Amino acid sequence: MKVIKVKNYEELSRTAATIIAGVILSKPDCILGLATGSSPVGTYDQLAAMYEEGILDFSHVKSVNLDEYEGLARDHDQSFGYFMDQLFFSKVNLKEENIFLVDGAADAAKQEKRFNDFLKDNKIDIQILGIGNNGHIGFNEPDSYFTASAHKVELAEETIKANARFFEKESDVPRSAITMGMYGIATAAKVILVATGAAKAPAIKKLLESDHVDPQLPCSILHICEDATVIVDKDLYELTK
């Protein structure tokens, strides 16, 4: 696992986007694993700018998103599908038929199967990750064991509280989600985790202090990934010392 320390969020976003761009340029029909949340927004802005400048072409790229809230359809303004439409898909030439999103409004068991069928047939070439305050990646929460397959998960109270800022009130935050499991993440050819902000420092500190893989710290799965890179800004890195 490599660690890249950068000056600020802008450099973090540019660094992550450059790595992703390298994969797209070397394999135009690659599969991108995408994440939501505030951390990767700048990366998507950078990738969209590269598309506008004619550097990148997404017409043969496939994408798969990590997760989705149960109960939220793609057109709900707090769904992750809506997030991706607004902040990335509408800004590049990714084809709709090449976009894989969980349908949060559909039957959860059927969506789990659909997700697992996709992952069985499609190895992710590069997966971008954010990280929760408790170390979760996707919606894989701390637990006594890792779940390999895509699955429904009950969200931890800490996660619900952290995500409440995106909703009118905390009670509006969905209590469950469907997420990619650890197999899809761990078998990606490349994984990038981007982290910024003091709230992420305890989880990042634990990740960097030990190479032990612990389901109580889901992000620790990066230690066994084929090619994993953690990108943190200077302020966050200083808090991990």
Catalytic residues, by residue number, are 67, 134, 136, 141
Q: Tell how strand 228-233 and strand 2-6 pair up.
A: parallel
Q: Where does 183-241 show beta strands of DSSP type E? A: 190-195, 228-233
Residue 81's CB: how many other CB atoms inside 10 A?
A: 23
CA distances from 150 to 64, 97, 119, 131 (A): 12, 21, 9, 18
* Contact of 167 with 206, CB cutoff 8 Å: no
Amino acid letter, 113: K
Rounded distance, CA 107 to CA 86, Å? 25
Q: Which tokens in the block code for residue 7? A: 């000056």
C-alpha Rg value of the chain to the nearest Å: 17
Cβ neighbourhood burial of 149 (10 Å; 0-12, 13-18, 19+)? middle
